[in-house]
Structures are given as C-alpha cells and as structure tokens.
Amino acid sequence: MRMSTKAQYAVRAMVNLNLHSEGQPVSLRDISLRESISLTYLEQLFVKLRRGEIVKSVRGPGGGYLLARPAKDIQVDEIIDSVEESLVPVSCMDQKNGCACEDQCVTHNVWHGLGEKIRQFLSSITLDDLTTEAKSKLKH
Amino acid sequence: MRMSTKAQYAVRAMVNLNLHSEGQPVSLRDISLRESISLTYLEQLFVKLRRGEIVKSVRGPGGGYLLARPAKDIQVDEIIDSVEESLVPVSCMDQKNGCACEDQCVTHNVWHGLGEKIRQFLSSITLDDLTTEAKSKLKH
DNA sequence: AAAGTAATTGACAGTTTTACTCAGGTATGC
DNA sequence: GCATACCTGAGTAAAACTGTCAATTACTTT
C-alpha cells in the first residue's frame, strides 16, 4: 500500500504553486527549482492537472500556471485523481463498469470499504489547509 | 494506491483456511485448489504468516495449517503486516527510525494521517467477521 | 514581423517492484 | 522407509514506476 511519488509530487507542487502565486502565474521552472522535481516530469503532471481543471495555464513570457479555482475548493483527492492515481485499493474495482466478483469475493467488501475511507479522508483536506499549514511552518 | 495481490491472496487464503478448518489442519494444496493460487506461492505466504503468529503448522501426512489463535482475535491488518506489506503510504515513514523530513515536509501530515486511517479501518475487521460473511454468502 | 519565452506533446529508456516458479531440503505419521 | 506436507532460497519474466529527450506550438514583447 503505497502512494506513488507521482501523487506525492503533484500534491507538493500544488502547495508550492499556491504558496508563491498570489494571483500571478507561476512557472514550472520555479517550482522545479524550489521542490527539486525534474522540470520535464512536472510538465507531465501539470498537463494532467490542467485537464482535471485543477490549474489553468498562461502562455508566453511571464506565463505559468494558476489555480483554476480557489484553494478552498480544491481537495487533495481531486489532485491525485487528476494525475491518474487510483484510490481504489484493488484493480477489479477500478472502472466505472463495476466488479464482476462482487457476489463471490469474500474480501470484496473489505477493499471497497477501505477505498471509501481513503477517499473520505483525502477529500476532507483542501489545498488551502495544506498551504496554511506550510505558512505556519515557514515562520518558525 | 494499490493493495498488492500478495496481501489480497493472504486475506483470501486465511478466510478459506478458517472456513474449512473446524479444528483440523488444512493443507495448502486444498487452499491452492479452492482459491486457484499457486501452491508454491502460498507456501511463501504461509511462512510469513507463521512467523507473524497468525497460523501454526502441523507437519507430516494429514498435516497443514491451523489458526494460531481464535479468528476473533485476528485482525486484517495483522495478516497484511505479516506478509510484509506496508500500510504506510509513503516510504520515508516506513521504518521505526522515524522520518527526517517531519519538520520540513508540508505534505507529511497528510500521508501520516492517511496511514492511520487505513490501519484503523483494517484493524476494526477480524478474520471471524470475514468468515461469517463468507458463510452467509455461500447459503444463497 | 521577429525573437524569445514558456507551455505542450509523444516517444522512449533505465530501474525497481511484483508475482511468481523451480529445485531442492526437512520433519512427521503410517 | 516412504508418502505427505511443510520449509527455504535462488532465480526470472513481466509490469509499473520514474523519469529523460527531442521537437512543436502558442503567446508576448520589442
């Protein structure tokens, strides 16, 4: 049971973006330098974050990325969903088309319940929460 | 975020073992046939389950495995721990020796909290719960 | 219009992890 | 003593993960 570094990077990058934005676009290059994440890898992530309508891009000089909506309205599970990291613990339950084993699998309910707990927890935390926390840490 | 098939197999095998035991040792061969899990792979898993004191072995003809304690006292998280599947979502928090990034990482608390939720949920379910559920499913 | 900046895209490669198999060995009961 | 069933460690193929590279497109400023 591991959260992929892809998901971890995405969340860290989003916090960093929000922390340094203040209404202005932030370039991936800046985030790359501050968080020590390869620029080209960030690019991959932000393509997905844009499609997930978590951020919007501004092209040209002085461009970069902005939050697509207020940080309060961005939940951690949405960030992870966007980079295509499944939160459901077993593969047979992945797709929309349900799970054939539902009636047979004894253990189905365990994983299903676990998946709901995970989502529940991650959707209770917003990007704003994390940013506020980061700010208070920086002060010390 | 995926539960490995190793962990899934371990839980399934344990339910199957408990379901067909009734105080008598159950051979891995039987479990293998019923659950369609390779015998040699099961052997690997049960070495770990034995070390984790989830089951005990009986050698020789007519031998097999027995629960090491009542099914009510075996929690799902213990089964998964035994087969060495980490329940902590990020690697830096894996070992006993804590996590160096605790003070810096903004996202640390998210993953830490998530790990606790996962453990909390899986420790609330016992092997007995799953076996009872399996029995009622078989009746239909 | 030209030049420079930055986002965008797709293909691809190295490494690690996973999920197993194989080939033996050891203890036990009949 | 032989059949049964556990026990052990090494090895391997495939998949997933983590990233890089090269080339393109879009936009802004001069």
Would A105 be classed as within a structural domain?
no
- Judged by CB atoms closer than 8 Å, whether chains meet at B2 and A89 is answered as yes
- Judged by CB atoms closer than 8 Å, whether chains meet at B121 and A103 is answered as no
Would B34 be classed as within a structural domain?
yes
> Protein B61 CA to nucleic acid C15 C1', in Å?
45
Instruction: Compute the count of residue pairs across chains A and B with CB atoms less than 8 Å apart.
Output: 96
| B101 Cβ contact partners less than 8 Å away, ≥ 6 residues apart | B92, B108
The C-alpha atoms of residue B128 and residue B76 are separated, in whole angstroms, by: 10
Question: Long-range contacts for B130-137 (Cβ within 8 Å, ≥24 apart)?
Answer: B130/A106, B130/A107, B130/A110, B130/B11, B130/B15, B130/B76, B131/B15, B131/B18, B131/B19, B131/B71, B133/A106, B133/A109, B134/A106, B134/B15, B134/B19, B135/B19, B137/A103, B137/A104, B137/A106
Full residue range of the structural domain in which residue B38 is found: 5-86+127-139
pLDDT digits (tens, 9 = 90+) for A65-108: 999 999 999 999 999 988 866 777 676 665 544 555 655 577 88
Would A119 be classed as within a structural domain?
no
B91: chain A residues, CB-CB within 8 Å: 2
> Protein B84 CA to nucleic acid D5 C1', in Å?
24
Residue of chain B whose Cα is closest to the Cα of A12: B107
Q: Can you give the pLDDT at residue A23?
A: 82
* Protein residue closest to C28, using CA and C1': B60
What are the φ/ψ torsions at residue B109 (nearest 5 degrees)?
-60, -30
The C-alpha atoms of residue A97 and residue A95 are separated, in whole angstroms, by: 5
> Protein A56 CA to nucleic acid C25 C1', in Å?
63
Neighbouring CB atoms inside 10 A of B36's CB total 8
Q: Can you give the pLDDT at residue A51?
A: 86
The DSSP call for residue B107 is S
* Protein residue closest to C21, using CA and C1': B40
The C-alpha atoms of residue A81 and residue A66 are separated, in whole angstroms, by: 19
Would B81 be classed as within a structural domain?
yes
Helices B5-21 and B127-139, packing angle to 10 deg:
70
> Protein B64 CA to nucleic acid C2 C1', in Å?
81
The C-alpha atoms of residue A36 and residue A97 are separated, in whole angstroms, by: 39
Q: Is B104 helix (H, G, I), strand (E, B) or coil?
A: coil
Would B119 be classed as within a structural domain?
no
Would B135 be classed as within a structural domain?
yes
Instruction: List protein-proximal bases of chain D (any atom < 7 A from a CB).
Output: 3-10, 17-22, 26-29
Please state the rounded mean pLDDT for residues A46-64. 88
Q: Would the pLDDT of B106 be above 80? A: no
Would A112 be classed as within a structural domain?
no
Q: Residue B135's domain is classified under what CATH number?
A: 1.10.10.10
A60 to chain B nearest CA, in Å? 30
Would B99 be classed as within a structural domain?
no
- Judged by CB atoms closer than 8 Å, whether chains meet at A110 and B125 is answered as yes
Number of structural domains chain A divides into: 1
| B24 Cβ contact partners less than 8 Å away, ≥ 6 residues apart | B64, B66
Question: Could you tell me if A129 and A121 are in contact, meaning their C-beta atoms sit under 8 angstroms apart?
Answer: no
Residue of chain B whose Cα is closest to the Cα of A10: B107
pLDDT digits (tens, 9 = 90+) for B36-85: 899 999 999 999 999 999 999 999 999 999 999 999 999 999 999 998 77
Question: Could you tell me if B77 and B123 are in contact, meaning their C-beta atoms sit under 8 angstroms apart?
Answer: yes
Q: Percentage of chain B surpassing pLDDT 70?
A: 86
Q: Is A25 helix (H, G, I), strand (E, B) or coil?
A: coil
